[in-house]
Chain A
Amino acid sequence: MKEKPVSAGDDALPSSFIPHPSSLLFDGWRLAAVAIALLIVVPLTVVLSSLLSPEREEWGHLLEYVLPGLLANTFRLALGVGLGVTLLGVSLAWLTAACDFPGRRFFSWALLLPLAVPAYVTAFVYVALLDFTGPVQTWLREVAGGPVAVPPIRSAGGVIGVMSLALYPYVYLLARNAFLTQGCRALEAAQSLGYGRVAGFFKVALPMARPWIMGGLMLALMETLADFGTVAVFNYDTFTTAIYKTWFGLFSLQGASQLASVLILLVFALIAAEQLSRRRLRYTQAGRHSRADRIVLSGTAGWLSAAYAALVLAVGFVLPVWQLGVWTAQVAAQDFDARYLDFLWHSLLLGGLAAAITAAAALVLAYARRQRRDAFTQIATRVATLGYAVPGPVLAVGIVIPLAWFDRQLAFLAKDWLGMETGLLLQGTLLAMLPAYLTRFLAVGYNPVDSAMQRITRSVDEAARTFGVSGLAMLRRVHLPMLRGGLLSAAALVFVDVMKEMPITLMTRPFGWDTLAVRIFEMTSEGEWERAALPAVALVLAGLLPIALLVRQSERA
Chain B
Amino acid sequence: MKFLSILLAFAGLAAASASAAEVVVYSARNEQLIKPLFDAYTKETGVKVTFITDKEGALLQRLKAEGQNTPADMLITVDAGNLWEAAREGLLKPVKSKMLAANVPAHLRDPGDRWFGLSVRARTIFYNTQKVKPADLSTYEDLGSAKWKGRLCLRTSKKVYNQSLVAMMIAEHGEAKTEQVVKSWVANLATDPFPDDTKMLEAVAAGQCDVGIANTYYFGRLMEKKPGLPLAVFWPNQKGSGVHVNVSGAGLTKYAKHEKDALALLEWLSSPKAQNLFADVNLEYPVNPAVKSDPTVAAWGTFKQNVVNVSKAGELQAAAVRLMDRAGYK
Contact of A251 among B16, B192, B318 (CB under 8 A): B318
Contact of B196 among A431, A518, A527 (CB under 8 A): A527
A247 interface residue per 8 A CB criterion:
yes
B194 interface residue per 8 A CB criterion:
yes
- Taking the nearest CB of chain B, how far is it from the CB of A315, in angstroms? 21
Query: Known contacts A245-B321, A250-B318, A400-B61: does B55 contact A513 (CB below 8 Å)?
Result: no
Residues in A whose Cβ lies below 8 Å from that of B163: 249
B239 interface residue per 8 A CB criterion:
no
In the complex, the answer to whether B67 meets A404 with C-beta atoms within 8 Å is yes
In the complex, the answer to whether B203 meets A133 with C-beta atoms within 8 Å is yes
Q: Which of B196-244 contact A (CB under 8 A)?
A: 196-199, 202-203, 205-206, 208, 218, 221
B57 interface residue per 8 A CB criterion:
yes
B306 interface residue per 8 A CB criterion:
no
A471 interface residue per 8 A CB criterion:
no
In the complex, the answer to whether B202 meets A430 with C-beta atoms within 8 Å is no
Q: How far is the CA of A424 from the CA of B51 in the complex (A)?
A: 15
Q: How far is the CA of A249 from the CA of B321 in the complex (A)?
A: 6
A290 interface residue per 8 A CB criterion:
no
In the complex, the answer to whether B192 meets A138 with C-beta atoms within 8 Å is no
B191 interface residue per 8 A CB criterion:
yes
Q: How far is the CA of A373 from the CA of B190 in the complex (A)?
A: 59
B2-10, B142-150, B178-186: which one contacts chain A?
Answer: B2-10
Q: Closest A residue to B2 by CB, please name it.
A: A345
In the complex, the answer to whether A132 meets B206 with C-beta atoms within 8 Å is yes
Contact of A400 among B32, B65, B325, B326 (CB under 8 A): B65
B260 interface residue per 8 A CB criterion:
no
In the complex, the answer to whether A65 meets B325 with C-beta atoms within 8 Å is yes
B282 interface residue per 8 A CB criterion:
yes
A237 interface residue per 8 A CB criterion:
yes
Q: How far is the CA of A245 from the CA of B325 in the complex (A)?
A: 10
Residues in B whose Cβ lies below 8 Å from that of A429: 9-12
Residues in B whose Cβ lies below 8 Å from that of A427: 12, 66
In the complex, the answer to whether A401 meets B65 with C-beta atoms within 8 Å is yes
Residues in A whose Cβ lies below 8 Å from that of B158: 232, 235, 241, 244-245, 248-249
Contact of A425 among B2, B12, B24, B317 (CB under 8 A): B12
Query: Known contacts A232-B195, A507-B54: does B318 contact A249 (CB below 8 Å)?
Result: yes
In the complex, the answer to whether B203 meets A235 with C-beta atoms within 8 Å is no
In the complex, the answer to whether B16 meets A253 with C-beta atoms within 8 Å is no
A435 interface residue per 8 A CB criterion:
no
Over the window 299-330 of chain B, the binary record of Cβ atoms lying under 8 Å from chain A Cβ atoms (1 yes, 0 no) is: 00000000000000000011001100110001
Q: How far is the CA of A234 from the CA of B192 in the complex (A)?
A: 10
Q: Which of B55-97 contact A (CB under 8 A)?
A: 55-58, 61-62, 65-67, 69-71, 78, 85
- Taking the nearest CB of chain A, how far is it from the CB of B164, in angstroms? 11
Q: Closest A residue to B225 by CB, please name it.
A: A530
In the complex, the answer to whether B14 meets A511 with C-beta atoms within 8 Å is yes
B160 interface residue per 8 A CB criterion:
yes
In the complex, the answer to whether B325 meets A66 with C-beta atoms within 8 Å is yes
Q: How far is the CA of A527 from the CA of B197 in the complex (A)?
A: 8
Contact of B16 among A233, A423, A507 (CB under 8 A): A423
B102 interface residue per 8 A CB criterion:
no
Over the window 397-413 of chain A, the binary record of Cβ atoms lying under 8 Å from chain B Cβ atoms (1 yes, 0 no) is: 10011011101100100
Query: Known contacts A249-B321, A503-B58: does B199 contact A522 (CB below 8 Å)?
Result: no
Contact of B57 among A66, A237, A248 (CB under 8 A): A248
Summarize A's interface: helix, strand, loop or mixed.
Answer: helix
In the complex, the answer to whether B55 meets A393 with C-beta atoms within 8 Å is yes
Over the window 415-433 of chain A, the binary record of Cβ atoms lying under 8 Å from chain B Cβ atoms (1 yes, 0 no) is: 0000000011111111100
Q: Which of B115-165 contact A (CB under 8 A)?
A: 156, 158, 160, 163
A107 interface residue per 8 A CB criterion:
no
Q: How far is the CA of A14 from the CA of B65 in the complex (A)?
A: 41
In the complex, the answer to whether B56 meets A248 with C-beta atoms within 8 Å is yes
Q: How far is the CA of A5 from the CA of B125 in the complex (A)?
A: 75
Q: How far is the CA of A529 from the CA of B197 in the complex (A)?
A: 12
Q: How far is the CA of A427 from the CA of B156 in the complex (A)?
A: 34
In the complex, the answer to whether A424 meets B195 with C-beta atoms within 8 Å is no
Residues in B whose Cβ lies below 8 Å from that of A523: 30, 32
In the complex, the answer to whether B202 meets A133 with C-beta atoms within 8 Å is yes
- Taking the nearest CB of chain A, how far is it from the CB of B261, in angstroms? 16
Residues in A whose Cβ lies below 8 Å from that of B6: 349, 430
Q: How far is the CA of A405 from the CA of B68 in the complex (A)?
A: 11
Contact of A393 among B58, B203, B208 (CB under 8 A): B58
A506 interface residue per 8 A CB criterion:
yes
A376 interface residue per 8 A CB criterion:
no
Q: Closest A residue to B327 by CB, please name it.
A: A65
Residues in A whose Cβ lies below 8 Å from that of B28: 525
Residues in B whose Cβ lies below 8 Å from that of A405: 65
B39 interface residue per 8 A CB criterion:
no
Residues in A whose Cβ lies below 8 Å from that of B55: 393, 503, 506, 525
Residues in B whose Cβ lies below 8 Å from that of A138: 206
Q: Closest B residue to A429 by CB, please name it.
A: B12
In the complex, the answer to whether B69 meets A522 with C-beta atoms within 8 Å is no
Q: How far is the CA of A154 from the CA of B191 in the complex (A)?
A: 10
In the complex, the answer to whether B30 meets A522 with C-beta atoms within 8 Å is yes
B172 interface residue per 8 A CB criterion:
no
In the complex, the answer to whether A249 meets B317 with C-beta atoms within 8 Å is yes
A3 interface residue per 8 A CB criterion:
no
Residues in A whose Cβ lies below 8 Å from that of B57: 247-248, 253, 393
User: Residue among A237, A248, A408 with the most chain B CB within 10 A?
Assistant: A248
Residues in B whose Cβ lies below 8 Å from that of A232: 158, 195
B193 interface residue per 8 A CB criterion:
yes
Residues in A whose Cβ lies below 8 Å from that of B160: 248-249
Q: How far is the CA of A291 from the CA of B53 in the complex (A)?
A: 52
Query: Known contacts A424-B66, A430-B6, A526-B282: does B195 contact A510 (CB below 8 Å)?
Result: no
In the complex, the answer to whether A521 meets B53 with C-beta atoms within 8 Å is yes
Residues in A whose Cβ lies below 8 Å from that of B11: 429, 431
Q: How far is the CA of A65 from the CA of B321 in the complex (A)?
A: 11
Can you report 24 residue pairs joining A to B where beta carbons are below 8 Å apart?
A132-B191, A132-B208, A133-B202, A133-B205, A138-B206, A152-B192, A247-B57, A248-B158, A249-B163, A249-B318, A251-B317, A253-B57, A404-B69, A405-B65, A408-B66, A408-B69, A411-B69, A424-B66, A428-B12, A429-B11, A514-B31, A523-B32, A526-B282, A527-B196
In the A-B complex, the 6 residue pairs with the closest CB atoms: A511-B15, A429-B12, A404-B65, A249-B321, A527-B196, A133-B202
Other than the given A506-B55, A522-B32, 11 more pairs (CB < 8 A) read A127-B199, A152-B192, A233-B195, A235-B193, A241-B158, A248-B56, A248-B160, A249-B318, A404-B69, A424-B70, A429-B12
